[in-house]
Every structure is written in structure tokens, then in C-alpha cells.
Amino acid sequence: MLYSGFFMNRREFLAASAALAAQAPAAPNILFAIADDQSWLHTGAAGDPIVKTPNFDRVAKAGVLCRNSFSTCPGCAPSRASILTGRSIWQLEEAGTHASYFPRKFTVFPDLLRAAGYYTGLTGKGAGPTNFKDAGWPHNPAGPAFDERKAAKGVLDVHADDYAANFDEFLKQRPKEKPFFFWFGSHEPHRPYRAGSGAAAGKDAAKVTVPAFLPDTPEVRSDILDYYEEIEYFDRQLGRMIASVEKAGELANTLIVVCADNGMAFPRAKANLYEYGIHLPTAIAWPRSIPPGRAIDDLISFRDFAPTFLEAAGLPPHAAMSGRSLLTALKSNKSGQVDPARTAITAGRERHSHARRDNLGYPCRALRTLRYLYIRNFAPELWPAGDPPFFADIDNGPSKTAVVSRKDRFHELSLGKRPAEEFFDITVDPACLQNLAAIPAHKTAFETHRRQLETILKAESDPRILGTGAIFDSYPRHSPMRPGLGGFAEQGKYNPAFTPKTR
């Protein structure tokens, strides 16, 4: 057997890949696994001492651990739309906001793969939350759903879908002559969590590293342990899927990508352009073509996945895609060196939830380089976490309660208003606590990043930089109101200055 146990050294890889090239089909299978709300530090491969992710770690060891991998948005729907289209969120109209339409005019890579002969499918959360049906899609833009198999109710508050069983059903229905693309969209570790589940599983709260922007309290430590439990649930489902591909004898020619859509659902993380909101775990393996056991520090944008999948399938990138294929970096033997063409990524956000009067979002854009993170807040007069007292852009949970109830720096960091520009040295401040925008020693770097971001946004015709950004606030929100918020949040008011588009 040329490829046993999903591990091999470099010499074995070279021998195996040469032999497999003659017998394997040109187009690989593609398994895309995306967690819901997980920050980059929280895997075994990244060195976390508590959370156990043997299957993520297995993919990283068999291929590449991407240490500087970033979502284009810290919220799920725009992030997923960007992955599917290979474009930035400001290029996607309604799909660049949360829970609006996904316009049918946008081309998504699963459709291009299907047209080229792939058998495609989805389990769990694909594009979304979004209204794709009224926009004219025959199914979720990520693929036809395979969600019939349900899991037995367990000790965690996880989704009812048995993701791995649904993947097995997909493989059973797949025509054997077709390569497959499968989107495994876990609903975990999205909130709510089963309170105390992490401690009940034997996890030690004393070992938790509490991010510096959160208060270090027993409640927050326990909340992080519960979050870890759901990461591990996602990882177990991934492991079952890998085992199914291996059992079918197709692991060698299967491109596996494991990531998340945005950061952890805690204050100042998810829905924020700081590190814990956009810097995400990513591991990629393709045993036939990607050398194993490497880590790369190139800055990778999730909009790069679509052209990567197309190139792997032997297809050209779609003309509208602004992402760039990663295959050259993945197939190289380098480890640690950074490609000069991959030293910066951009990200942004608009509306996340019903968090402000008139359904306003919190528009901001970011440029992340190897050392710095520059953020432009276009409406600093708004509350970044949503209007008080609800702060609805933060998911409810013990950590939110801990922050909201305080009247100290932790409250201000997550809930207070922010300046129009922020600038952080990530190498010494990954928690993004010290704004360097007005510090003379960083003035040159600050102004360079500001200009670079403006140049990119203008080149990509971002309405916010062109002065027409209010259009984002006009797009209707179709997701149900979040229960218990009350007041304006449940009234669902829209900005009357614009007429929402129809599909």
C-alpha cells in the first residue's frame, strides 16, 4: 500500500506521489470541513494544552499547517459567501451582509466543479444564514443537502445532524466514476454550549489561557472549556469522514481542507476584525500532491480557497474571483519562508445581527500584514457590539454576561465605542489591546498600511471607500429575530433611505 495511515516522511512521499501520478485520476476528490466559530490557537497542532483535535492535527501532519490563515469577515454568512465566490465581502452586495439574499448572479466554485463532472454535496451549514431560495438558487450555494441522518441526543448542545453518516450516504449515492466535492459545515462550536460540559469531561480550568481581553474568572474559564468540548465534537466528525475516505481507498487523491468561518463566539472575538475574530485554524492535505509535515507563514485569505479547488481540478479560476490559488505554496518544499506575494490580507464586516436601530451594521475594513493589523471603522459614532443594553452582536453566554456586568476595562474593550482608525503590532499584542495609531514611533508603518488598504479597496470598488457604502444598510435581513432582545432589535426597522432589492 503506497499510502498507509495518512503519515509518511518526505522520501516516502516522493516515491508514493510518483507512482500514484500514473494511476490516480487527474482530478482529486475534495473534502472541505469548516467549523463554526473557532479561533486559530485552539487546536492541538497550534499547541493548545487542553483541546484535543487529533484529526485536525493529522491533516496538518499529512500536509500543511497554515499558521497565518484569515477569514475575509468575522461573521459566518459573509465569510462563507466569500469562500464560495472567491471574492471579498464588499464585492458581494447582499451576500456581504448577514442573513440577507445570496444573489443568484454570483458564480460559486461548487457549480463550476459540478459542471466539470464532480459529484457535489453538503451536510450541515453551507452558505448561511442567507435567503438563497428567494434569490433563485435550486439548493444551498454550497451544494445539494445530505442531512437525513440524525445523531442520537448526547451530553452536548450540538446540532441534530449526524454529519459523518450523511457523508457516508453521499458516498453511497455518488457515481463511482465521478470525483467528489463535499462541504462539511459543522454547526459547532457555535453557541449555545452545555454549561459545565468541559469540566464534566475532565478538562482542567486551571490550564486555560484566557485571552487578555476577557476577565479571568471561573465563569469565563468554564465557558472556554465548554467551547473546547464542541471543537472536539467537530474534530470527531471529521475523523469519521477521513476514515470513510480511507476505507474507500481514495485518501491519497483527496484534497482535505479544514478551517473555520470566523473566530470564537466570545466578546471582542467573533464579529470583530481583531485577531481572535479573523485569524483561524487551517490545515490542508493532499497526499498525492502536497509534501507532508510542513508549516507555512504565508498570509492566506479564505477567498483563495475557490481558485485553489478549481486549479486542483484542472480548471481555470473564474474571471470574477479576486482570490489566488494556493497550490504553488502548498506543493512547494518550503517551510517557514514567506512568499513576498503573500504578505498581506484584507477583511471587513457590515451588518452582523439586529444590533442597532434602523438595522444598521458596524462597517469596518482591515489590512493584516506579517507584523501589523490596521482597522478602519467607518462609523465610529456607533456601538461596535450593538446598542446597549443588549449588545446583540455578541452571542449570549457566560463570558458576555461577565463583560456586560462589569464597569472596567474589560467592559470598555468589548462594548465601548472605538476610534475611526486602529493599529496594532500583532507580534507583541495579539490580543489587540494597545492602539498605536497615534504613537509617533509607528507613524510611518501606520500611514503605509492606511494607504495600502485604501488602494486595495478602491481597486476592488468597495462602496464604503467610494462613498456609497450606505447601500449595505438597506439590504433586508431574513433571519428570525434573536429572542429576548426586545425593543428596536425585535422591531426589525430598516433604513428608510433605500429600497431593498428584490430577487
> Tens digit of pLDDT for each residue in 381-392?
999 999 999 999
Q: Is the per-residue pLDDT at 500 higher than 60?
A: no
Q: Quote the pLDDT of residue 475.
A: 95
Give CA 328 to chain center in angstroms: 22
Residues in contact with 123: Cβ distance below 8 Å, sequence separation at least 6, in sequence order? 145, 146, 147, 161, 163, 166, 167, 170, 182, 183, 184, 185
User: Half-sphere exposure of 59 toward its Cβ, with a 13 Å CA cutoff?
Assistant: 29
pLDDT of residue 44: 98
For residue 502, pLDDT over 60 is answered with no
Average pLDDT, the chain: 91
pLDDT at 157 over 50: yes
- Evaluate if residue 11 carries a pLDDT over 70: no
In angstroms, the CA 170 to CA 136 distance is: 24
Question: Is the full-model pTM beyond 0.85?
Answer: yes
pLDDT band at 70 (very low <50, low <70, confident <90, very high): very high
The answer to whether 208 and 218 have CB atoms below 8 angstroms apart is: no
Percent of the chain with pLDDT over 90: 85
Could you read off the pLDDT of 219-241 as tens digits, one per residue?
999 999 999 999 999 999 999 99
pLDDT score, position 359:
87
pLDDT 10s digits, 185-215: 999 999 999 999 999 999 999 999 999 999 9
DSSP of 260-329: ESS--SSTTSTTSSSHHHHB---EEE-TTTS-SSEEE---EEGGGHHHHHHHHTT-PPPTT------HHH
pLDDT in tens, 263-321: 999 999 999 999 999 999 999 999 999 999 999 999 999 999 999 999 999 999 999 99
For residue 2, pLDDT beyond 90: no
Mean pLDDT of 3-27: 53
Q: What domains sit in the chain, N to C, each tagged with a CATH number?
A: 10-333 (3.40.720.10), 346-491 (3.30.1120.10)
133, pLDDT greater than 50: yes
Preceding omega of 78 cis (within 30 degrees of 0): no
Question: How does pLDDT run across 427-442, given as a tens digit for each residue?
Answer: 999 999 999 999 999 9
pLDDT at 80 (0 to 100):
98
* H or E stretch at 365: strand 364-369
Picking from 31-45, 46-60, 321-335, 461-475, which range would have the lowest pLDDT averaged per residue? 321-335
DSSP, residue by residue, 201-267: TT--GGG----TTS---HHHHHHHHHHHHHHHHHHHHHHHHHHHHHHTT-STTEEEEEEESS--SST
Residue range 14-27: average pLDDT? Answer: 55
Question: Average pLDDT of 389-416?
Answer: 97
pLDDT attached to residue 358: 87
pLDDT at 91 over 90: yes
What is the distance of C-alpha 200 from the center of its chain? 28
Predicted confidence at residue 496, as pLDDT, reads: 32
Characterize the bridge pairing of strands 344-349 and 300-301.
unpaired
For residue 338, what pLDDT is reported? 85
Mean pLDDT of 347-359: 94
Question: Sign of torsion, CA 201 206 210 214?
Answer: positive
